[in-house]
Amino acid sequence: MRDSSYLLSGTAIFLGSFLLFAIQPIAGKQLLPYFGGSSSVWATSLVFFTAALFVGYLYVYVLAKISHGRQFVIHMCIVAGAVLFALVLLFAPHLVPAVPDAVVDGEPAAKVLLALLFSIGAPYLLLSTTAPLLQYWYGTGTGREPYTLYALSNVASLLALLSYPFVIEPFISLRYQKGIWLLLFFAYAMVYVVSALVFFSTRRSSSETSEGRPKRARVSLMESVLWILLAALPSFTLLAATTHITQTIVPVPLLWIVPLALYLATFVIAFAGWGQSIFTPLFFFASATVAWWFTPAAYDDIVPQILSYLTLLFFCGFTCHALLYRMRPQTPVLPFFYLLISLGGAIGVLSGSMLAPLVFSDFWDFPLALAVSGAFAAWLLPKPFFPRILESHHITYVKVFFLVLVVSLFLRHLLADQGVPTIATRNFYGSAKVYFQGDTVSLMHGTTLHGMQFANPADARLPTTYFTPGSGVGRAILYEQNVRSDKEVRVGVIGLGTGTIAAYCRPGDMYVFYEIDSRIEGIARSYFSYLSHCEGTEVRIGDGRILLESELSAGTLGAFDVFAVDAFSDDTIPVHLLTLQAFELYASHLRSPESILAVHISSRYLELAPVVFRLAAELGMNAMLVPDSGESSPGGSSSLWVVLSKDSGVFRSVAFANTDSPPPVASSDVWTDDYTSLFSVLSLPRPWE
């Protein structure tokens, strides 16, 4: 039977941990539009969250060294400061505002960190102290082991993450999510204060004089290093797996949440004492083997590939956290134990988010995490899983041999593409590769082709890939060129790629590209010639939607005859470019009712046509679905576009003849800046069918 102090501490810890993780997808989703929808927003946000957690744990460690009376006074001041800061946020227009370029120019990762620090920094820091501090107070005050409270805190964190895609996002708009979170934060602060008052009021005065600073057991250097490393490997694997999955599918909180939820689940299970079986390392080793089998995987294997990655993440976290639980110290050392765990977690996240793009030119962090996990799992395999005829030193030789094998397989993976001349770069916005194959030059972003050009000068002006004359955007430009005849045609494009759309440029025409990644402009101008063939080409660096809003505010409308939305993050369009407010902005930049908005919706995983058709209906625009196999043009690729125009006569013209594409049923929900949900449009391959 638990006492009242346990229930009170548990309530405060549960609320604090719930809010600690509920804010993460809310803040991440609000930041996405400022950075082109890049999934790196989430990876960088995790750096802030883990760093703030470490600072909170460091604060608890230092606080535990002073007398209990001072602990109470200092911590109540921290609570009061965080509550006052939250009151300011309650009346602020945005929970996490953008950071102006004047503050940090050209450093998106720094902007993400600063935006989070100056918005939710103070409340998040207080929340991060809750679990370790209340566990310490409960353990030292009652003499009982407090680690079940740690499992409870992770249950609350897991519940917060799972509630976001299933309860919060589908039914509560983004602005109300902020208000509800802040109101819950005020309730949590009250419970936190009551819990502290109960603890310090019931503590005997003799305890204050004789046990102001509890005696601490000595922790060896080796134990400290092991605590850090056992926390760092799962957090690095979490970042690596999340980056790999979201770069392959789509950068939205729904897909970030799944790996993080599994990661938290391993804490819950391990610190409940359910990870001490000798089979745990075997499952870890088996999951690493299966994940390696699906690396790399073809499109048809995407479901088993993702499942294998998530399974590896689970058993990596489960094994490491079970070892941490086995090594857990007595309560007086608890703040130091949690401090080193948080330090290891921060190191792992920092390595996957900040260091990996600096060290690796491609997404090699997950293969590295996979290799380290496989080697560690093999090293942990206990003696009963080896043949009985092997002595202990023979088993050691076998494990060393496996370590060498893992290193060789990892190096083989890194050298897999060396047969093709390639230029590879990686930054905040992902991996970009230029391939030189025979008579073509291609640009790959992540796993998706983003443009191709023929090296032969006679064919270099041909529009290829998704922009052939039979594609939606190709038909739109040809229509406007025919209607306007000898007059200039103005074309605006969100997303540059290789600049292939500029292949349609005639003397006097104007082509404006909006591109968030300045690196892509350098690639397009250095290795492709589409832009140089068009004198009226301009590339404006920044998020397309934000730039268009600035131009609208300044009264400098684009007056485009064709406006194309082709901003892909690997394989999918950032969600903030598919909302009602975004489409209203695009429409305001069109020159006339005959002007055309063309939206590229090709995706292996999302059915976006119903969403776009619903947005067209909301704006009173006519819409047509234009599929193109690309087979009728040299270098063509399969594409799917939706073209919109105020004038229905546009789609009865010769340019749009023979599309043979019945319109889809429009979505029942309108996507807005406050509401988007991917459940209705997510379409993964079904290998079992």
Cα–Cα distance, 596 to 31 (Å, whole number):
30
Query: The tokens 């600072």 sit on which residue?
Result: 55
pLDDT digit string, tens, across residues 68-111: 788 889 999 999 999 999 998 888 766 666 555 544 556 788 88
Confidence category of residue 211, pLDDT binned at 50, 70, 90 = very low
Q: Listing from the earlier edge strand, what are the strands of the sheet with 440-445?
A: 422-427, 430-437, 440-445, 448-454
pLDDT of residue 216: 56
pLDDT digit string, tens, across residues 23-67: 888 887 778 777 766 667 777 888 889 899 999 999 999 998 888
Nearest to 271 by CA among 167, 123, 147, 386: 147
Cα–Cα distance, 112 to 93 (Å, whole number):
18
- Judge whether residue 205 has pLDDT over 50: no
- Judge whether residue 256 has pLDDT over 80: no
pLDDT of residue 406: 78
560 C-beta neighbours (distance < 10 Å), count: 24
Cα–Cα distance, 36 to 81 (Å, whole number):
34
- Judge whether residue 206 has pLDDT over 70: no
pLDDT digit string, tens, across residues 121-173: 899 999 999 999 999 888 887 778 888 888 899 899 989 888 887 788 778 88
Residues paired with residue 606 on neighbouring β-strands, in sequence order = 682
- Judge whether residue 1 has pLDDT over 80: no
pLDDT of residue 251: 46
Query: Highest mean pLDDT range out of 289-303, 468-482, 603-617?
Result: 468-482
Segment 372-393 shows an average pLDDT of: 81
pLDDT of residue 212: 47
Query: Highest mean pLDDT range out of 208-217, 416-425, 634-643?
Result: 634-643
More confident: 590 or 302: 590
* Residue 371, phi then psi, degrees to nearest 5: -65, -45
pLDDT of residue 96: 67
Cα–Cα distance, 376 to 533 (Å, whole number):
54
In the chain, what percentage of residues exceed pLDDT 70?
88
Q: Which of 284-298, 400-414, 530-544 has the lowest mean pLDDT?
A: 400-414
Confidence category of residue 17, pLDDT binned at 50, 70, 90 = very high
The DSSP 8-state label assigned to residue 20 in this structure reads H
pLDDT of residue 255: 67
pLDDT digit string, tens, across residues 228-242: 999 999 999 998 888
- Judge whether residue 513 has pLDDT over 90: yes
Confidence category of residue 419, pLDDT binned at 50, 70, 90 = low
- Judge whether residue 414 has pLDDT over 70: no
Write down the mean pLDDT value for the chain: 85
pLDDT digit string, tens, across residues 303-355: 788 888 999 999 999 999 999 999 998 888 889 999 999 999 999 988 887 78
Helix (H, G, I), strand (E, B) or coil at 596: strand
φ/ψ bin of 127: left (φ > 0), alpha (ψ from -120 to 50), beta (otherwise): alpha
Query: How many Å is the Cα radius of gyration of the chain?
Result: 28
pLDDT digit string, tens, across residues 661-688: 788 888 778 998 888 776 667 765 544 4
Question: Tokens standing for 23?
Answer: 């804010």
pLDDT of residue 37: 61
674 C-beta neighbours (distance < 10 Å), count: 14
- Alpha helix ranges (H) inside 143-220: 147-163, 169-171, 174-202, 205-210
Domains of the chain in start order, with CATH, are: 1-205 (1.20.1250), 219-416 (1.20.1250), 468-656 (3.40.50.150)
Q: Which of 433-447, 519-533, 656-670 has the lowest mean pLDDT?
A: 656-670
Question: Tokens standing for 113?
Answer: 């960190």
pLDDT of residue 102: 45
